[in-house]
Amino acid sequence: MKIISYNVNGIRAAMRKGFTDWLQQTKPDIICLQEIKAMKDQVDIAEIEAAGYPYHYWYSANKKGYSGVAILLKKEPNHIEYGTGIDYMDFEGRNLRVDFGDFSVMSLYLPSGTNDARLEHKLTYMADFLEYVNTLKKNFPNMVICGDYNICHKEIDIHNPVQNKNTSGFLPVEREWIGNFIDSGFIDSFRYLNKEPHNYTWWSYRANSRANNKGWRIDYNMVAKPLQENIKRAVILPNAHHSDHCPHMVELEF
């Protein structure tokens, strides 16, 4: 089973840049999208379905053109869970889960901390989300939580750790949280199989950052520990250029 996660930075813009052609060529079984910035009725659904994804679920923010997540699938899930039941999270359309029997996949878009108010919001979200997931694991132990976590975990995950040590996304409190999240029972699937530096999933549009590979690895496919033996491959796909992020894949064998 191939699962891809991709912050598309606007699904309509990504589709104009060839996203669905790329999707048809790449053929993941499941693709989790973040920052779709659209309502379902604003998206060319026929194009998505023609690419081989008849099952697609959309969870948009209340605010138009902002945030939102989606999951596209080749096979129909048993259940779709929209949101977390926590109002302030769900208002921004940041969590969507599909269940297949005893296996679940979530698309997550964690807030960024672009200013003091948003950083406080992000820290609250992080604490509440970890508590939510710890409760969720009791009934859904075999989860893959894919998405844009907006956090680099370690120095290897960011191009200039010294310069960015006081920047949101690499603050000690954020790095500690994602470490605790992993320790709570998840595997960073990319780092599990890949120890090399200079592997990133997001680049600023400024200063030709992507061409110079001055990036951040802030997107993860977190695999629950009971599925550790099922992890066969994990790769970043930097040649896809539909967004300021790139897709990243985990392959599980059942």
Question: Can you tell me the distance from the alpha carbon of 166 to that of 115, in angstroms, rounded to the nearest whole number?
Answer: 12
Question: Can you tell me the distance from the alpha carbon of 170 to that of 157, in angstroms, rounded to the nearest whole number?
Answer: 10
| CA triple 128-131-135, angle to 5 deg | 140
Residue type, 112: S
Q: How crowded is residue 207: how many other Cβ atoms within 10 Å of its Cβ?
A: 10
Given the residues 148, 157, 188, 219, the one annotated as active site: 148
The verdict on whether 148 is a catalytic residue reads yes
Question: Can you tell me the distance from the alpha carbon of 170 to that of 152, in angstroms, rounded to the nearest whole number?
Answer: 6
b (16+ CB within 10 A) / e for 39-75: eeeebeeeebeebebebbbbbbbeeeeebbbbbbbee
| Residues in contact with 77: Cβ distance below 8 Å, sequence separation at least 6, in sequence order | 55, 98, 99, 100
Q: Which of 44, 1, 51 is nearest to 23 (CA)?
A: 51
| Residues involved in catalysis | 148
